[in-house]
Amino acid sequence: MARLTGTRVVLFDLDGTLVDSAPDLGGAANELLRQHGKPERALEEFRPVAGSGARGMLRVGFGIQPGDADYEPMRAALIELYAQRLLHSTRVFEAVGPMLDALDGAGVRWGIVTNKAMRLAEPLAQGLGLAARAAVLVGGDSTPHAKPHPAPLLEAARRMGELAMHCVYVGDDLRDMQAGRAAGMATVAAAWGYLGQGAQVHEWGADHVSVEPAGLLHWLGLP
């Protein structure tokens, strides 16, 4: 498909789309399991839900979810453990680097919109060299609502001085597509990411499903 008419900005989710943070999220969850005298889990059990952050880790590791009596203290403990190892094993996906280089080379501005709180998202993006290149970084607490609400995406567009209709949002979770559609942006499902659990990626209603980062460039009509 040819490049979308009028596309000026590409916005990306962070975890599972630009970076592989599952090893550190899973590592923090296993540390919490050890503290509670429970056996560790294999990283591959945590990986599919890594895009959900602490919520996904606690569901897999402890079988608890928001609303459960011990969820909030366990979530706080997990986040503190994760903050201590934020950049221990997390890396930019290997194929994402060339994709970002191509966007920069073509003069296409790009930014990051994540549900990760800014106190975690900012040092992570800085440590991996993304913050200095991204035109904007919007976290899960940058607006009153997080994805799948469109507010964070609309805030990113506002900060970049662009209309939502001129933006594309790329993410590896159903809620990313929901947020993008609600914001009036074109949506691309990053099938190289974590993908979560539930509906299959081709059922998310994305405008395009990209199996690899280079596929996004092709869809945008870039070399």
Contact 24, 82 (CB under 8 A): yes
Write the burial class of residue 42 (CB in 10 Å: 0-12 exposed, 13-18 middle, 19+ buried): exposed
31 and 64 fall within a common domain: yes
Counting residues of the chain whose pLDDT is more than 90, the rounded percentage is: 92
Q: Answer whether residue 49 is part of any domain.
A: yes
Q: Answer whether residue 199 is part of any domain.
A: yes
176 is catalytic: no
68 and 132 fall within a common domain: no
Q: Answer whether residue 187 is part of any domain.
A: yes
176 and 127 fall within a common domain: yes
77 and 127 fall within a common domain: no
- Residue 80 makes CB contacts below 8 A (sequence gap 6+) with none
144 and 200 fall within a common domain: yes
* pLDDT confidence of residue 2: 42
59 and 111 fall within a common domain: no
Residue 168: CATH number of its domain = 3.40.50.1000
Mean pLDDT of 101-110: 95
Residue range 188-220, pLDDT digits in tens: 999 999 998 777 999 999 999 999 999 999 999
Give the relative orientation of helices 22-35 and 54-62 as an angle to the nearest 10 degrees: 50
Domain tally for the chain? 2
Spatial CA neighbour of 120 closest among 140, 134, 97: 140
What domain range includes position 168? 9-20+90-219
* pLDDT confidence of residue 221: 87
Domain boundary pick from 84, 111, 127: 84
Q: Which helix (H) or strand (E) holds 161?
A: none
Q: Which of 13, 15, 172, 173 is catalytic?
A: 13
213 and 110 fall within a common domain: yes
68 and 153 fall within a common domain: no
Residue range 108-166, pLDDT digits in tens: 999 999 999 999 999 999 999 999 999 999 999 999 999 999 999 999 999 999 999 99
d(CA 211, CA 208): 10
Residue range 80-93, pLDDT digits in tens: 999 999 999 999 99
Mean pLDDT of 163-179: 96
d(CA 100, CA 28): 29
Q: Which helix (H) or strand (E) holds 106?
A: none
Domain boundary pick from 62, 84, 106: 84
Q: Answer whether residue 3 is part of any domain.
A: no
| Whole-structure pTM value | 0.95
Indicate if the pLDDT at residue 28 is higher than 60.
Answer: yes
* pLDDT confidence of residue 6: 56
48: preceding bond cis by omega (within 30 degrees): no
